[in-house]
Structure 1
C-alpha cells in the first residue's frame, strides 16, 4: 500500500473535505487514512479468487435480508475512507450516493504481501475503534481466516476442514474448503 503521488497534486496532509472535492476519477478506488491518500496495489488472481469464493459463499445467506454483501464498497469511518475487499452492510440509512457512512457489520480483507501489515495493524485498529463488529482476515498463504469479534474481544482462527460461523448471523456457515478451493 503506497502513498499516491500525482503530478502537480499533493495527496498527503489532506482533509476529508479536500479529498471529497477531488474529481471522482481521482479518488476512485483510493483509501483515505489519517490525512493521506492510499493507493492499493492491483489484486492478484488468488486474491480475486478468494474474494469470489467468499461472495459466492455469503450470497445465498443474505438473499432477501436487510444486510447485503458488497465487494470494494467505499466505507466512511470517522474521517477515514476504507475500501474493504468485502463488507457486510446492514443499515440502509447509512448509504449515500458515494459511500456507506458508518461501520459495516463485517469487514473482510484478503492479505497480500503489499498490504499485509496495513491490514493486520492499521485496519485492525481503525475498524475496532470505529465500531466494526467483526473483521475477517483471510490469509491465502496459511489458508486460514481469522475472525476478530471486537464486541467480545475475541479472535478465532478457522482452518481447512472447518466451517466458519458467526453469532452475528445465525445459521451462516462457510465451508473453509470451499473458500480456499482453487
Structure 2
C-alpha cells in the first residue's frame, strides 16, 4: 500500500513552485504538474541510509571539487504547470551549477545524479515514474535504493535500468569517475522494513 497521496482535488487551482515554497506541512511535499503530493517523513532506517549516502557521495565530490551534494532539496523540473521533485540526495556538477539558476528555494533544473531511497510504506515500483521524470528533465543518472530487497536500481537512461544486489558496488561512471562503494556496506546494519 502506498502512503504517497495527492492532496489537491483535480478541480482545485494548480499550485506553483513559489507557492509550494511557502507551505510548511507535517510531511514531505512534492509538486507534480501543479498538484501537491504528500509523502510521509522518512523512517529511521531510510534516514540512516540517506545520511550515509550523503556522506559517502558528498565526501567524494567535495575532495575532488566536482560540484555540490544536497539532501532533500527541491528541483524544478517542469513548468506551466510546475513540477518540483526532491531526491533523498542530489549531486549537481560544477558545470551545471554554472549554467543553471539556484534560487533561494529550489534549483532550476534536475540534479546530475538523483538518489532516491524507498521510504517506509512505499514500493520501489512507485519510483519508476519519478526516475523517468528525472531523466526526461535531464538528469544523467538515477539511483533508487530499496532497503527491503537490499537492492539498487540504476537508471542510466529511459531505456537502461539495471538492478544491483549482493556483492555489487555503486559506480559513479562518467559522472563521478573512479567512485565505487560496496552495496553491502551501505546496507550493513539496516533492517528490512
TM-score, structure 1 normalization: 0.84
Structure 1 residue aligned with 2:165 = 159
Which of the numbers 139, 142, 151 marks the counterpart of 1:135? 142
Structure 1 residue aligned with 2:7 = 4
Structure 1 residue aligned with 2:22 = 24
Kindly report structure 1 stretches of 4+ aligned residues shifted beyond 6 Å.
Answer: none
Shift of 1:11: 8.4
- For residues 42-57 of structure 1, the aligned pairs below 5 Å read 42-57=41-56
Mean CA deviation greater in 74-83 or 160-169: 160-169
User: Helix, strand or coil for the counterpart of 1:81?
Assistant: strand
Q: Say yes or no: does 1:76 pair with 2:76.
A: yes
Measured on the aligned residues, the alpha-carbon RMSD in Å equals 2.5
Aligned residues of 1:12 and 1:37 also touching (Cα < 8 A): no
Q: In the superposition, relative to structure 1, how do residues 14 and 85 fare at CA in structure 2: closer, same or farther (>3 Å)? A: farther
Q: Say yes or no: does 1:62 pair with 2:65.
A: no
Cα distance in structure 1, aligned partners of 2:147 and 2:120: 10
Aligned residues of 1:109 and 1:119 also touching (Cα < 8 A): no
Aligned residues of 2:46 and 2:120 also touching (Cα < 8 A): no
Mean CA deviation greater in 80-89 or 53-62: 53-62
Cα distance in structure 2, aligned partners of 1:101 and 1:139: 28
Q: Unaligned 5+ residue runs, structure 1?
A: none
TM-score, structure 2 normalization: 0.79
Q: Unaligned 5+ residue runs, structure 2?
A: none
